[in-house]
Homo-oligomer: A and B are copies of this chain.
Amino acid sequence: MAYTYEFPRPALTVDCVVFGLDEENLLKILLIQRNLAPFENQWALPGGFVRIEESLETAARRELVEETGLENVFLEQLYTFGSCDRDPRDRVVTVAYYGLVNLWEYRLKAATDARDTRWFAVADLPPLAFDHEAIVQLALTRLKGKVRYEPIGFELLPEKFTLTQLQRLYETILEQELDKRNFRKKILKMNLLIQLDEYQTGVSHRAARLYRFDPEKYRNLKKKGFNFEI
Knowing A4-B3, A8-B3, A10-B12 are in contact, say whether A55-B84 is a contact too (CB < 8 A): yes
Q: Is the CB of B77 within 8 A of A10?
A: no
| Residues of the B chain whose Cβ atoms lie less than 8 Å from the Cβ of A8 | 3, 52
Say which residue of B9, B52, B93 sits within 8 Å of A56 (CB atoms): B93
Q: How many residues of A contact B (CB 8 A)?
A: 30
Shortest CB distance A18–B (Å): 19
Complex: A80 Cα to B55 Cα, angstroms: 11
Give A residues with C-beta under 8 Å from B.
1-12, 49-50, 52-56, 77, 79-80, 82-84, 91, 93, 95, 145, 149
Give 10 CB contacts A-B under 8 Å. Answer: A2-B6, A3-B4, A3-B6, A4-B5, A9-B9, A9-B52, A10-B50, A77-B79, A80-B95, A82-B95
Known A54-B84, A149-B149; further 18 A-B contacts with Cβ < 8 A: A2-B4, A3-B5, A3-B8, A3-B9, A4-B5, A5-B9, A7-B52, A9-B10, A9-B11, A9-B52, A10-B12, A10-B50, A50-B93, A52-B91, A55-B83, A55-B84, A77-B79, A77-B80
